[in-house]
Amino acid sequence: MANALYTNYKNKLLGNGTHALADWDTDDIRATLTDHAVDTPVVATDQDYADISAGEIANTGATIAGAALCTISAGGVDIDDFAFATVSGDPAESITFYLYDATPTIAALLVFIDTATGLPITPNGADINVVIDASGLFTF
């Protein structure tokens, strides 16, 4: 695979698709690390957090975008660096950004990343610090 926006998110941006449309600088956006030997995310068909949660190794458990943490400009999204705290699980092969909702079946998947410096990542029990490039997370 490669880094990508989930197809349902693209459809939503184009006026179709399911679930809510994420507003990156106001909504509760979170990130999760996924074990592909348990559940390999499928960008083309997975739509919500329930589709990938079986493979979750660690979740930020807190907002990583939203007000004061995110900048939208020049057709792109930039977010602050963040961390997965004290990760004790198996290696993770990808990170997914998603629009948090207490109901996993409506928490929309947004961005899939399996190509980044350090992925697959081998946890050692400490924090995993995610460093976002100064030029931002993604642009259209």
Residues 92-121 that bind other proteins (CB under 8 A): 93, 95, 113-121
Residue 3 as a binder of other proteins (CB under 8 A): the answer is: yes
Task: By CB under 8 A, name the one of 37, 45, 54, 105 that touches other proteins.
Answer: 37
Q: How many CB atoms lie within 10 A of CB 113?
A: 18
Task: List the structure tokens of 71.
Answer: 């900048």
Q: Are 95 and 31 in contact (CB under 8 A)?
A: yes
Task: By CB under 8 A, name the one of 7, 36, 53, 72 that touches other proteins.
Answer: 36
Cis bond before residue 120 (omega within 30° of 0): yes
Residues 6+ apart with CB under 8 A from 38: 54, 55
CB closer to other proteins, 42 vs 72: 42
Task: By CB under 8 A, name the one of 39, 53, 69, 101 that touches other proteins.
Answer: 39
Coil/strand/helix, residue 105: helix
Count interface residues toward other proteins (CB under 8 A): 45
Residue 24, CB half-sphere, CA atoms under 13 Å: how many?
Answer: 22
CB closer to other proteins, 20 vs 129: 129
CB closer to other proteins, 49 vs 112: 112
Residue that is written with structure tokens 């400009």 in the block:
73
Residue 75 as a binder of other proteins (CB under 8 A): the answer is: no
Give the residues lining the site for other proteins (CB under 8 A): 1-3, 35-37, 39-40, 42, 76, 83, 86-91, 93, 95, 113-133, 135-139
